[in-house]
């Protein structure tokens, strides 16, 4: 009996194969990774083979042919003639990537990490001794990569936040921390006034742009403090005006009678002062908002204002206003009555004229000394016919000087 053993050695045509591993990157950075070449014979039991053959170390930032490696002279069959199936494995997938293997091609797709957080704290610096109204402010989140341009974070990812004097913090969560290529984002917060027409905006300075550091930023808004940046209100007391039926001159000058005023405005502002006719009071360094001018002691005169209810609104675009206050006589304490009387001592009683005059006892250009009216006393008058009363006479001149009334008789009977 004889036995003949036959041994087959691979290497000839049809006994070996070549396989090419390929790496595909979809976005993201391209780190060094290792792809392994494996093979299996798809047999169960003791004859099963599933083994690593070799590996391909893909260099960082590889492209083109550097993303492929071909292995040659690979056995086509196992020792029992079962054909091998070659496939790829990637044991260590880079962070933030998912893998997909199709035969010998390994695709890594980059997933932007979305665990970023930004917290913003708003601080308001009021002027000394005042508490101003805090307007609503929009906080908008921006981002950029190194060397890149700023872009607003999509609203779907980071909606615009609103802060004011009560809500002073804002937080964004689940923010993408890199772009699709894996470049790290830095964040920036920009602010703007929510309500463009709110006059309170004008009292504050905005911070155009604030960098976020370690996920946090503090934005401090300071109130305007320079008088040149703030408003001015002028209260002017017009010359006194005589009411209907009141006798008196107009257009004169002088200032003794004082009227009391009060001006109120934002942040508890209140200023009291006195003005005489034609005087003015300038109030400077006023924060923007609505102011009310009120004459609190009109001395019996009727006060009217050049603006409705004595109210004006100071704004950055219209920072100077004037309120004129006019007082009209006719009320209690603003008019007087005077009676001229003729007395005869013996003799006949002819017709005579007595004149009613007044003076303000002021010298220079402000002086008034004028005839107001006259009383023609009839001949042989007696009793009440020797008197005449004049009513609704102005108590003061247009600048508040009190009149002194007196009588004159220019033509004394012979």
> In the 8-state DSSP scheme, what is residue 284?
E
Average pLDDT on 180-207 reads: 97
Tell me what pLDDT residue 331 has.
67
Characterize 360-387 residue by residue with b for buried, 16 or more Cβ atoms within 10 angstroms of its Cβ, and e for exposed.
Answer: bebeeebbbeeebebbebeeebeeeebe
Domain ranges of the chain: 16-110, 116-222, 228-328, 335-408
Give 353-385 as a DSSP string: EEEEEEE----GGG--EEEEEEEEEPTT--GGG
Q: How confident is the model at residue 5 (pLDDT cuts 50, 70, 90)?
A: low
Cβ pair 159, 202 in contact under 8 A? no
Q: How confident is the model at residue 255 (pLDDT cuts 50, 70, 90)?
A: very low
Q: Could you give the C-alpha distances from 30 to 33, 49, 113, 283, 398, in angstroms and in order?
A: 9, 33, 16, 68, 90
Q: Give the model confidence (pLDDT) of 332-357 as tens digits.
A: 777 888 899 999 999 999 999 999 99
Give the CATH number of domain 16-110; options: 2.40.70.10, 3.40.50.720, 2.60.40.1140, 2.40.160.40. Answer: 2.60.40.1140
Residues 6+ apart with CB under 8 A from 295: 259, 260, 261, 303, 325, 327
Cα separation, 86 vs 22, whole angstroms = 13
- Listed in sequence order, the residues at least 6 apart from 357 whose beta carbon sits closer than 8 Å to its beta carbon are 369, 370, 371, 372, 405, 406, 407, 408
Whose tokens are 């009216």? That residue is 373
Q: Tokens for 55? A: 């590996």
pTM of the model: 0.72
Residue 136 to residue 150: CA distance in whole angstroms: 24
Would strands 269-276 and 280-286 be described as parallel, antiparallel, or unpaired?
Answer: unpaired
CA-to-CA distance for 154 and 160, rounded, in angstroms?
A: 10
Question: Is pLDDT above 70 for 246?
Answer: no
* 46-50, 244-248, 288-292: the lowest-pLDDT one: 244-248
The answer on pLDDT for 359 being more than 60 is yes
Q: How confident is the model at residue 376 (pLDDT cuts 50, 70, 90)?
A: very high
Least confident piece of the model among 105-114, 127-136, 171-180, 393-402: 393-402
**Topology match between the domains 16-110 and 228-328:** yes
**Residue 16, SS3?**
strand
- Please give the residue that has the higher pLDDT: either 195 or 365: 195
Average pLDDT (392-411) is: 88
Of 216, 210, 199, which Cα lies nearest the Cα of 140? 210
**Which tens digits make up the pLDDT trace of 134-190?**
999 999 999 999 999 999 999 999 999 999 999 999 999 999 999 999 999 999 999
- Statement: residue 7 has pLDDT above 60: no
What is the helix (H) or strand (E) element at residue 105, kind and residue range?
strand 105-110
Q: What is the CATH number of domain 228-328?
A: 2.60.40.1140
Instruction: Match domain 116-222 to its CATH number in 3.30.930.10, 2.60.40.1140, 3.40.190.10, 2.40.10.340.
Output: 2.60.40.1140
């Amino acid at each position: 009996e004889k036995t003949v053993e036959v041994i087959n050695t691979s290497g000839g045509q049809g006994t070996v194969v070549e396989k090419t591993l390929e790496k595909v990157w979809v976005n993201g950075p391209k780190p060094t990774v290792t792809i392994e070449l494996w093979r299996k014979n798809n047999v169960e039991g003791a004859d099963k083979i599933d083994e690593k053959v070799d590996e391909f170390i893909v260099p960082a930032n590889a492209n083109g042919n550097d993303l492929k490696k071909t292995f040659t002279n690979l056995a086509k069959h196992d020792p029992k003639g079962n054909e091998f199936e070659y496939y790829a494995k990637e044991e260590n997938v880079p962070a933030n990537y998912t893998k997909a293997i199709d035969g010998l091609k390994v695709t890594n797709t980059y997933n932007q990490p979305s665990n970023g957080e930004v917290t913003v704290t708003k601080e308001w610096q009021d002027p000394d001794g005042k508490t101003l109204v805090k307007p609503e402010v929009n906080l908008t989140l921006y981002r950029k990569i190194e060397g890149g341009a700023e872009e607003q974070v999509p609203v779907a990812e980071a909606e615009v936040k609103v802060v004011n004097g009560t809500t002073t913090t804002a937080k964004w969560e689940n923010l993408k921390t890199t772009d699709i290529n894996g470049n790290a984002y830095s964040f920036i917060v920009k602010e703007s006034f929510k309500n463009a027409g709110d006059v309170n905006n004008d009292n504050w300075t905005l911070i155009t742009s604030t960098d976020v550091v370690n996920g946090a930023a503090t934005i401090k808004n300071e109130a305007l403090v320079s008088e040149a940046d703030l408003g001015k209100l002028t209260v002017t007391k017009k010359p006194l005006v005589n009411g209907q039926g009141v006798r008196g001159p107009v257009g004169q000058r002088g200032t003794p009678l004082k009227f009391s005023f009060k001006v109120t405005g934002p942040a508890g502002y209140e200023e009291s002062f006195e003005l005489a006719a034609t005087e003015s009071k300038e109030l400077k360094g006023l924060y923007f908002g609505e102011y009310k001018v009120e004459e609190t002691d009109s001395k019996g005169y009727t006060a009217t204002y050049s603006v409705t209810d004595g109210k004006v609104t100071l704004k950055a675009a219209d920072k100077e206003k004037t309120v004129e206050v006019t007082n009209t006589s006719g009320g209690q304490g603003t008019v007087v009555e005077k009676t001229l009387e003729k007395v005869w001592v013996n003799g006949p009683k002819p017709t005579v004229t007595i004149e009613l005059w007044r003076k303000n006892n002021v010298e220079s250009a402000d002086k008034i000394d004028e005839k107001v009216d006259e009383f023609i006393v009839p001949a042989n008058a007696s009793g009440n016919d020797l008197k005449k009363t004049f009513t609704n006479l102005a108590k003061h001149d247009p600048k508040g000087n009190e009149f002194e009334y007196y009588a004159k008789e220019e033509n004394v009977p012979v």
